[in-house]
Copies of this chain bind each other. A is one copy, B any other.
Amino acid sequence: MSLPRKRLPAAERRESILAAAAEVFGTHGYAAATTDAIAQRAGISQALAIRTFGSKEALFIATAERVVDRVAEAFRAAIAGAGDRERMEPRLGEAYVRLAEDRGSLVTLLHLFTLGHDPAIGPVAREGFLRIYTILRDEAGLPAARATAFLANGMLVSTIFGLELPTQADDVAVSELLQAAFRENTALVLELFG
């Protein structure tokens, strides 16, 4: 049982651990997630998961930064793909929701943003949040009110995932809410949760 797994170069191993970590941190949050669960999902021993990043905290920070980077990339791609500056929000919105294909990412983000009090993670959280806001302002060209409203809807979207509300889409109030929050992406979201 569980004999030595296939050897991977460090960079690939890191990446596979980060993907597993996003899922587990997204489901359980920073404190409740165990490094053992992350290691199991990555198919390696717990010791290796820790040694690769040095500590659980460092692993979480790396995971969080990877998620923020992905959001930034997705928004930049959406901005570059937009011919004009009109109807920017729907494009950005779809890009955001598609990140949910990466299981755990969006909820990991939500967890990150609850950790402002933590001396090591708090600064990372604030920096990541402001980086995203700044992209909306300066690169997408949204005025403050629209950037904030978009961000607010993004937090609601992540909250809906965190609540696992899409599993109750048969409830009439829930389906109305999902429709209002996700608009043209509602079907996509329900598919991801089928």
Contacts and interface: CB of A to CB of B under 8 A. Distances in A.
A114 B111 contact: yes
A27 interface: yes
Interface string A109-151: 0110111110000100110011001100100000011011101
Contacts of A164: 116-117, 122, 126
A117 B165 CA distance: 10
Contacts of A126: 163-165, 168
Q: Interface residues of A toward B: which range?
A: 35 or more
Interface of A: 27-32, 107, 110-111, 113-117, 122, 125-126, 129-130, 133-134, 137, 144-145, 147-149, 151-153, 155-156, 159, 162-165, 168, 171, 173-174, 176-177, 179-181
A116 B180 CA distance: 20
A148 B137 contact: no
A163 B31 contact: no
8 contacts: A116-B164, A126-B164, A126-B168, A129-B159, A144-B176, A144-B179, A148-B181, A155-B156
Contacts of A110: 114, 159
A30 B164 CA distance: 17
